[in-house]
Structures are given as C-alpha cells and as structure tokens.
Amino acid sequence: MKLPAQFTALKRYKKEMLEMLRGKAMDHEKRVTELECSHAELRANNDRDHQKMTINIHNNKVQTTRDAEQIAKIWDELNRYKDMSVKWN
C-alpha cells in the first residue's frame, strides 16, 4: 500500500529536519569545544603572565633596594670626601 503524498512529504521533511538539527548540534558542540579550549589556553597564558609579572615585581624591588644601597654608599663617600676637603682647607 502506497502512502498518500502528504505523508511521504512529511516523512521526507522529518528526515531533512533531523539531519539539519544533527548538523546544528554538531556545529554547536564544535564551537563549545573550541571555546572551552580557548578558555583553558587563555587561563594558562594568564597564569603564566601573572607568574612573570610577580617575578618582575620581585626583581624590581630587589634592584630598587640595591640601587638605594649604592646611592647611600655614594652619598657616604661624597660626604667623606667633602669632610676631608674641609679638613685640608
């Protein structure tokens, strides 16, 4: 027994819609997976940048302390020479 044309058209429409929805679902899954990967990569890069920044801040503090010590030594040396020049005159 042959189905009426409306039923075969409906069956074909249902099959096409299911294929389209499967394709959309797969595209959605692909985009979500890419976003998850991108987020994980972004998070890893952010953590790496944060570690580098922390190290740079520490190095800057250490260098500033060293510079302050060197400046203090230079001032002490200048004051000593100034004191010596006062004694010679």
Predicted confidence (pLDDT) per residue in 33-63, tens digit: 887 778 878 888 889 999 999 999 999 988 9
Which band of pLDDT confidence, cut at 50, 70 and 90, is reported for residue 88?
Answer: low
pTM of the model: 0.43
Tell whether the model's pLDDT for residue 89 goes beyond 70: no
Question: Whole-angstrom Cα distance, residue 60 to residue 23?
Answer: 54
Its domain, for residue 83, covers 56-89
Q: Is 49 among the domain residues?
A: no
Total number of domains in the chain:
2
Q: Is 11 among the domain residues?
A: yes
Q: Are residues 61 and 40 in the same domain?
A: no
Q: Is 1 among the domain residues?
A: no
Q: Is 86 among the domain residues?
A: yes
Chain centroid to CA 7: 56
Q: Are residues 13 and 37 in the same domain?
A: yes
Question: Whole-angstrom Cα distance, residue 35 to residue 44?
Answer: 14
Question: Residue 70 has what pLDDT?
Answer: 92
Question: Residue 86 has what pLDDT?
Answer: 67
Question: Looking at 1-89, which runs of residues are DSSP E strands?
Answer: none
Question: Whole-angstrom Cα distance, residue 60 to residue 66?
Answer: 10
